[in-house]
């Protein structure tokens, strides 16, 4: 059966240590984190070693990702940030760095400068033995371009974000397009309202997860089914009424249900 994983964050209401111990006990296989906080990445790596979880991916920062497509100091800064993610992944044995290629509606078109910037990142990641997984957002062209330039024999793959597809893509399905390049999934639910990205536990929103399961099965995807949830945290009312055990049990039951449906 496919392995299952879940994201971990610094601000999770239950505390990262208790959360990781709970997910390991529940039966999760792996985790990923977001950002380049070196101390937190090192901490999660240590906790993975202690709990038997696999630190499967590091999600690179993305707030200024549109600058990737410009030949200036802003473009250089984005490449530097992404290379830092690669270096952290290499240092801690994390095989995959997930990255965005665009943000929001009015992102830049594919440019020669951006392709040159990506090539610098690709070269560095290849030298470090790290896979770059480009994640679907609102735009198709930049992903298609990158995956065409860097073929199956490269260290560049696709991260299929189920939730983003439902609230950003206006009905477009990405898995049939890039199934043979898929190395990572981000699985979460929402109510399929444009631009409202809720990161709910699967089956709590309106996404048709039977269709999701069929796409996973038909793609013969054998990688991890990785949850990317808005974890309970201070200032959020999502799942605030659930204890740690209840939240982890609910998340595990949902992703395991999808795993069974996709077999």
pLDDT of residue 178: 98
pLDDT of residue 176: 97
pLDDT of residue 243: 98
- Cα separation of 24 and 99, whole Å? 26
pLDDT of residue 22: 98
Q: Average per-residue pLDDT in the chain?
A: 97
CB 101 within 8 A of CB 68: yes
pLDDT of residue 190: 98
Q: Determine the Cα angle at 167 with ends 113 and 219, to 5°.
A: 80
Q: Is the pTM of this model over 0.85?
A: yes
Domain 4-262: state its class: alpha beta
Residue 51's pLDDT band (boundaries 50, 70, 90)? Answer: very high
- Cα separation of 248 and 74, whole Å? 40
pLDDT of residue 221: 97
Domain boundaries, the chain: 4-262
pLDDT of residue 225: 98
pLDDT digits (tens, 9 = 90+) for 194-244: 999 999 999 999 999 999 999 999 999 999 999 999 999 999 999 999 999
pLDDT digits (tens, 9 = 90+) for 123-182: 999 999 999 999 999 999 999 999 999 999 999 999 999 999 999 999 999 999 999 999
Sign of the alpha-carbon torsion through 77, 197, 184, 113: negative
Residue 49's pLDDT band (boundaries 50, 70, 90)? Answer: very high
């Amino acid at each position: 059966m496919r392995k299952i994983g879940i994201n971990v964050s610094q601000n999770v209401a239950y505390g990262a240590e208790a959360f990781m111990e709970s997910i390991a006990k529940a039966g999760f296989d792996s985790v990923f984190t977001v950002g380049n906080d070196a101390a937190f990445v090192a901490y999660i790596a240590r906790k993975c070693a202690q709990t038997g979880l696999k630190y499967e991916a590091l999600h690179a920062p993305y707030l200024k990702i549109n600058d990737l497509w410009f030949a200036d100091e802003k473009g250089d800064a984005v490449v530097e940030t992404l290379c830092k993610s690669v270096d952290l992944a290499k240092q801690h044995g994390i095989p995959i760095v997930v990255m965005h290629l665009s943000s929001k509606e009015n992102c830049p078109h594919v440019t020669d400068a951006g392709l040159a910037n990506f090539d610098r990142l690709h070269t560095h990641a290849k030298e470090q033995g790290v896979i770059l997984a480009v994640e679907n957002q609102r735009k198709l062209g930049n992903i298609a371009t990158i995956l065409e330039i860097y073929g199956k024999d490269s260290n560049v793959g696709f991260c299929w974000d189920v939730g983003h597809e439902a609230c950003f893509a206006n009905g477009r399905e990405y898995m049939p397009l890039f199934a043979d390049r898929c190395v990572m999934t981000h699985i979460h639910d929402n109510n399929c309202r444009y631009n409202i990205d809720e990161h709910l536990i699967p089956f709590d929103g309106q996404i048709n997860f039977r269709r999701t399961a069929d796409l996973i099965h038909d793609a013969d995807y054998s990688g991890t089914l990785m949850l990317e949830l808005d974890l309970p945290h201070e200032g959020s009312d999502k799942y605030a009424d659930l204890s740690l055990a209840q939240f982890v049990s609910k998340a595990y039951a949902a992703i395991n249900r999808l795993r069974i449906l996709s077999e």
